[in-house]
Amino acid sequence: HVWAELLLVIVFTSSLARSDVFTSIGHMTDLLFTEKDLVTSLKDYIRAEEDKLAQIKQWADKLELLSTAATRDPDGFLGHPVNAFKLIRRLTTEWTELEHLVLTDTSDAFLSNLTIQRQHFPSDEDQSGAAKALTRLLDTYQLDTDTISTGQIPGSPADTKHSALTVDDCFEVGRVAYSEGDYYHTELWMLQALAQLDQGETPADVDAVMILDHLSYSVYQQGELERALAFTEKLLELDPTHQRATGNRRYFEYQLAKQTKVGKREKGRRQEEHQPDDYQSEKKKYEQLCRGEGLRMTPQRQSGLFCRYYDNGRHPKYVIGPVKQEDEWDHPRIVRYHDVLSNREMEKVKELARPRLRRATVHDPRTGQLTTAPYRVSKSAWLGAFEHPIVDQINQRIEDITGLDVSTAEDLQVANYGVGGQYEPHFDFGQKDEPDAFEELGTGNRIATWLLYMSDVQAGGATVFTDIGASVLPQKGSAVFWYNLRPSGDGDYRTRHAACPVLLGNKWVSNKWIHERGQEFRRRCDLQESA
C-alpha cells in the first residue's frame, strides 16, 4: 500500500519536473550524481530486504525441522507438556511476530529519497528532445542507425567500451519520430529495432508486433504500399487476431490494385521537406559544412591568410606580451585569438554560469519577443561584470584586444550545448525588416561578435558560415571575432552562421555581443559598403 501511495506521488511529481535538461550537458552532469545517490539508496533498500528475508528464512528453517519431527508422532510429541506449551505459544505469539516482520516495509527510506529526487528528473519533453537529437546527428553527419545504436560514434576513442541502444531504445526513438509525423525516420529506427530483435536481443517492453505495426504504417505513409503490405502480413503471421493489421491488409491490397492505374506515389523523405526550398537549400549547405564538405577555402585564399603576434597598435598591455592572432577568413574578415583565457578563468566562468543555465532563446522576427526554438538546442546564462572580478577582467581583455568599447555591450553570455546541441543558421545583428530587438537597450545594433570556446569538442560542434562556406573548429581558450555590420552600418549578410550539432563531447562557449554606441571614434562609419 505504501508503494502504491508513493508511486502516485512520484507520477504527480514528474509533471513538475524541470524540462529542457537535454539542452545542456552541464545540467545533465548533475543527473549522474542524482542517479548515483539513488543507486546507493536502492542498495540500502536491497540490503534491508535481504536482512529481513534472512531472518524469515532462519525462522522457517527452524520451524521446518520442528514440524517435521512433530508430525511423525503427533500424539507422542504433544504428550510432552513443554512441546504442547511451545506449540500454543508459537501460534499465539511467534507467528504474529513473524507476520509483523513480513509486513515490515523497508522501502520507505528509498521511496522517500526517490520522491525527493524526482523533482530533478528529466521530463517526457527531455526524452523526446534527446531522441530527436539522435536523429539530428544521424542526418547532419550522414550516419546510419547501426552506428549510433552500437555507440561507435566517429571521434570516440577506439579503446573505450561503447554505450549501445537496446531494441526498446531504438523503438522509443522511432516512436518519437512517429508522433511527430516523421515517417522517414520512424522507418529507419523501427528497422534498426527489428534487426536487433532478429539478432536475438531480448527486449523488455516491446515485441515484433509493436515494431511491425509502426513500421508498416510509416512505409505506407511514404507511398510504399508493397512493403507496407509485406510488413503487415509478417505482423499477422505473429498475431493473426490483430484487428488493425487485418483491416490494413485489406486496405493496402485495395490501394495496390487501384495504384496500378494511376502510378506509384513518390517515396517520402525527411520530415523537413515540407519546408520552403530556400530553407532546404540552406539546411543542406549547413549540414555539408558541418561534415567538412563544401568548404570554399581555396589555395589562393589560404595563401592570403596569416598568423601573427598582435599588440593592437602597441597597446600597453600587449607590447611585451602580444596575443597570437590567426586569420580564419578574408572577406568578411574573421580572426581567431589564441590562449586569451586560462583554464582557471574558464572553469570559474562555467562555475558561475552552471547554476543559472536556462534554455537558450531567440528573437521571434514576427513579434520581436524572446522564445525557445527547436533549431537552438542549448542552455545559456548571462554574467554581469559586477558579479565576479574574472568577468570584469574578461570584458576588459575583449576591449583591449578588439579596440572596441564594451561598456555598451551585452553581458557575457555563457552557453552549454546538450545532446546534439546546435544553433541553425542565423544572424547576430537585427535586420531592418524585424522589430528592433535591441531598441530597448538604446545602444544600437550588434556591430561585432566575440565568440570564446571554453572546451574542446571531440567531434562536431563547428561554427560554420553558410553564405561564404567557412568553418571554424572549437579550440579551447581561443576566441573568434568578426564584424556583423559593414562600416556603413548595414548588416553584413555574409556573416550568417550556425553552430553545428555536437556529435561527441561537451561544448562550452561564451559570447560578447558588442553594440554600435561608443564605437563612433573606434570604428569610424563609412558610406561605402567596404569589407
- For 21-68, what is each residue's pLDDT tens digit? 777 777 778 788 888 888 898 999 999 999 999 999 998 898 888 888
For residue 133, give every residue at least 6 positions away whose Cβ sits within 8 Å of its Cβ, in sequence order, or none: 22, 377, 418, 419, 420, 421, 501
pLDDT of residue 20: 73
CATH 2.60.120.620 fits 299-515, yes or no: yes
CA dist., res. 24 & res. 18, Å (int): 13
CA dist., res. 513 & res. 516, Å (int): 10
Kindly report the CATH class assigned to 124-153+162-258. mainly alpha
448-454-456-462 Cα dihedral, nearest 10 degrees: -20
Q: Quick check: 8 pLDDT over 50?
A: no
pLDDT of residue 515: 97
| DSSP run (H or E) holding 248 | helix 243-262
Class of residue 143 by CB neighbours under 10 A (exposed 0-12, middle 13-18, buried 19+): middle
Q: Quick check: 436 pLDDT over 70?
A: no
Give the residue with greater pLDDT, 39 vs 18: 39
| DSSP run (H or E) holding 515 | strand 508-515
Q: Quick check: 134 pLDDT over 70?
A: yes
User: Dihedral sign, CA of 434, 438, 442, 444?
Assistant: negative
* Mean pLDDT, range 235-255, rounded to an integer: 93
Q: Quick check: 339 pLDDT over 60?
A: yes
pLDDT of residue 178: 95
pLDDT of residue 156: 80
CA dist., res. 152 & res. 2, Å (int): 43
For the chain, what percentages of helix, strand and coil (3-state, to nearest 5) are there?
50, 15, 35
Contact in structure between 236 and 245 (CB atoms under 8 Å): yes
pLDDT of residue 4: 41
For residue 57, give every residue at least 6 positions away whose Cβ sits within 8 Å of its Cβ, in sequence order, or none: none
For residue 5, give every residue at least 6 positions away whose Cβ sits within 8 Å of its Cβ, in sequence order, or none: none
C-alpha cell at 163: 554505450
| Residue 12: pLDDT band with limits 50, 70, 90 | very low
Give the residue with greater pLDDT, 122 vs 128: 128
| Residue 116: pLDDT band with limits 50, 70, 90 | confident
pLDDT of residue 32: 84
Q: Quick check: 18 pLDDT over 90?
A: no
The separation between the first and the last C-alpha atoms of the chain, rounded to the nearest angstrom, is 73
* Mean pLDDT, range 398-426, rounded to an integer: 93
Nearest to 455 by CA among 416, 413, 422: 416
Q: Which of 256-265, 289-298, 308-317 has the lowest mean pLDDT?
A: 256-265
Task: Give the rounded percent of residues in the chain with a pLDDT score beyond 70.
Answer: 86
* Mean pLDDT, range 85-91, rounded to an integer: 74
Contact in structure between 87 and 77 (CB atoms under 8 Å): no
**Long-range CB pairs of 264-272, under 8 A, 24+ apart, other chains included:** 264/223, 264/225, 265/223, 266/223, 267/222, 267/223, 267/224, 268/183, 268/184, 268/221, 268/222, 268/223, 269/184, 270/139, 270/182, 270/184, 270/185, 271/177, 271/180, 271/181, 271/182, 271/184, 271/185
Lookup result for grid cell 515540407: 274
Distances (CA, A) of 395 to 189, 320, 332, 405: 47, 21, 24, 10
Q: Quick check: 266 pLDDT over 80?
A: no
| DSSP run (H or E) holding 197 | helix 183-198
Task: Give the rounded percent of residues in the chain with a pLDDT score beyond 90.
Answer: 57
Q: Quick check: 90 pLDDT over 90?
A: no
**How does pLDDT run across 393-411, given as a tens digit for each residue?**
999 999 999 999 999 999 9
Q: Quick check: 144 pLDDT over 60?
A: yes
CA dist., res. 215 & res. 211, Å (int): 6
C-alpha cell at 22: 537535454
Contact in structure between 421 and 23 (CB atoms under 8 Å): yes
| Residue 154: pLDDT band with limits 50, 70, 90 | confident
| DSSP run (H or E) holding 451 | strand 446-453
What phi, psi does 326 have (nearest 5°)? -130, 130
25 torsion bin: left (phi>0), alpha (psi -120 to 50), beta (else): alpha
Q: Quick check: 208 pLDDT over 90?
A: yes
Fill in the DSSP letter of residue 371: E
Nearest to 428 by CA among 519, 510, 511, 359: 511
Distances (CA, A) of 199 to 149, 163, 193: 14, 18, 10
| Residue 346: pLDDT band with limits 50, 70, 90 | very high
Distances (CA, A) of 338 to 212, 317, 513: 54, 16, 19
Indicate the average pLDDT of the chain. 86
Q: Quick check: 7 pLDDT over 70?
A: no
Q: Quick check: 375 pLDDT over 60?
A: no
C-alpha cell at 335: 580572426
